[in-house]
Amino acid sequence: MSYKITTLVENCVYGRKLQAEHGLSLFIETADNKLLFDTGASDLFIRNARLLHIDLQKVDYLILSHGHSDHTGGLRHFLELNTHAIVLCKRSIFSPKFKDERENGMKHWETFDLSRFRFIDEQTEVIPGVFLFPTIEIVNHEDTHFERFFVQEGENRIPDTFQDELAVALIDSTGISVLSACSHRGITNILRTIRNSFPNLPCNLLLGGFHIHNAEEQKYWVIAGYLQEYLPRQVGVCHCTGVDKYAFFYKDFGDRIFYNHTGKVIQTNL
């Protein structure tokens, strides 16, 4: 399967016209389908898409990685623009979320047409070669990013272990491309989960946020140690990885590492 990934929104931008925000949205094209992975924090992904001559009305599926507002804040704008795409996510994505005392979960979801939502409970091949992984087993507990995050369950506000998080894998005969948004349950745990399902395929691309911006350096070394044993051919870091940690990755792994900024295009032959 060939594909093209265009980053519609990310924390950084280079060049004219496009804008950035704290959030993430990726536009994925295959030979037969168009998918969106997250919607950023606002309608900015739509405005950037227009500047990039991308028609979001043609998106077939919207995948939501988890319920934080910097990934779902543009959802209502997308649902108004695109009246047919199916939204793929975990049911727990609607639970109220908090960072310390600040609410940062999905907004306005009570107004959405839930018949457009398909809830993912098991490993699912959405279209040929595009797999969703809703169950990420935590083997490496050091590579989790739950601190200061909470979720409301009934009357109780409890520590958030991100049961709503899912990851994406693009699979073809040459290997695996792994897409993660924030990796709260750990990018090493996500990679391990996907590798266990496709043990004979190499990882061509690892793309996403690792949630180690401003984290202690030890958090970086947990991930870097795993990559020293299993290094994808390309690693695109962005969003909650932090530019500071991108510099660490580039120093240790060289040209296999790139920063996946707003407007970046990654392509195999379509």
Entry pTM: 0.97
Task: Please list the pLDDT of the chain residue by residue as tens digits (270 residues).
Answer: 789 999 999 999 998 899 999 999 999 999 999 999 999 999 999 999 999 999 999 999 999 999 999 999 999 999 999 999 999 999 999 999 999 999 999 988 989 999 999 999 999 999 999 999 999 999 999 999 999 999 999 899 999 999 999 999 999 989 999 999 999 999 999 999 999 999 999 999 999 999 999 888 999 999 999 999 999 999 999 999 999 999 999 999 999 999 999 999 999 864
Question: What does the pLDDT read at residue 269?
Answer: 63
- pLDDT at position 1: 75
**pLDDT at residue 215 in the model:** 87
Q: Give CATH for domain 3-267.
A: 3.60.15.10
What gap in Å lies between CA 72 and CA 135, rounded to an integer? 20
Domain boundaries, the chain: 3-267
